[in-house]
Amino acid sequence: MSRIGKKPVAIPSGVEAKVSGQTVEVKGPKGTRSFTATDDVSIAVGDGEITLTPRGSSKRARQQWGMSRSMIENLVTGVTQGVRRELEINGVGYRAQAQGKVLKLSLGYSHDVEFEVPEGVTATTPKQTEIVLEGIDQQLVGQVAANIRGWRPPEPYKGKGIKYKEERIFRKEGKKK
């Protein structure tokens, strides 16, 4: 039994959820999102909650049960609170600047990196060394954050690079004479 799948997804006030076939559409104050589940799971909208049950007891049905419940919960969270991912830049001369839909990154290369932020994600830079990404799609916000981090991942000796705000970098000691 899936511990995650057993819990129903609560629908807060101001959020509307509809199920048509295997597609769940969630409409809230920040926008509308939808998710299509596989045929291994049956979805039902009850009194203020969405419940999922597996069809059969196969391994795939149990896997899809928990995964589908998590995806639907992410939809509800996205349309109510939104998703926020914060990045931190460490290093001398490393900085970021948001200019509309373009994020200009100075990361020690011979040129500045101009990162095009996709539709549905907003990038702001409260400080030159901080990047805040916000949107309603958790997968998209996480992927954009990973793409930005990929330009200069943190290195273990000095800790220079772009890291997630909550990430802890394992530091190495370096050479000894």
- Answer whether residue 172 is part of any domain: no
Question: Tens digits of per-residue pLDDT, 52-100?
Answer: 999 988 999 988 999 999 999 999 999 999 999 999 999 999 999 999 8
Which string of b and e fits 149-159 if b means at least 16 CB within 10 Å?
beebebeeeee
Pairwise CA distance, residues 60 & 92, whole Å: 49
Pick the last residue of a domain from 46, 80, 114. 80
Q: Are residues 61 and 87 in the same domain?
A: no
Contact in structure between 48 and 10 (CB atoms under 8 Å): yes
Q: Are residues 149 and 108 in the same domain?
A: yes
Query: CATH no. for residue 89?
Result: 3.90.930.12
SS3 of residue 36 by DSSP: strand
The per-residue pLDDT for 156 is 94
Q: Are residues 93 and 135 in the same domain?
A: yes
pTM over 0.85: yes
Helices 59-80/138-150 angle, 10° precision:
90
The per-residue pLDDT for 25 is 93
The per-residue pLDDT for 177 is 80
Contacts 24+ apart (CB under 8 A), 116-120: 117/144, 118/144
Contact in structure between 31 and 42 (CB atoms under 8 Å): no
Q: How many domains does the chain have?
A: 2
The per-residue pLDDT for 2 is 66
The per-residue pLDDT for 153 is 94
The per-residue pLDDT for 174 is 86
The per-residue pLDDT for 1 is 61
Question: Tens digits of per-residue pLDDT, 1-45?
Answer: 668 888 999 999 889 999 998 999 999 999 999 999 999 999 999
Chain centroid to CA 81: 13
Q: Are residues 8 and 47 in the same domain?
A: yes
- Answer whether residue 135 is part of any domain: yes
Range of the domain at 26: 3-80
Q: Are residues 36 and 96 in the same domain?
A: no
The per-residue pLDDT for 88 is 96
Question: Tens digits of per-residue pLDDT, 110-138?
Answer: 999 999 999 999 999 999 999 999 999 99
The per-residue pLDDT for 150 is 95
Contact in structure between 122 and 134 (CB atoms under 8 Å): yes
Pick the last residue of a domain from 80, 109, 126. 80
The per-residue pLDDT for 41 is 92
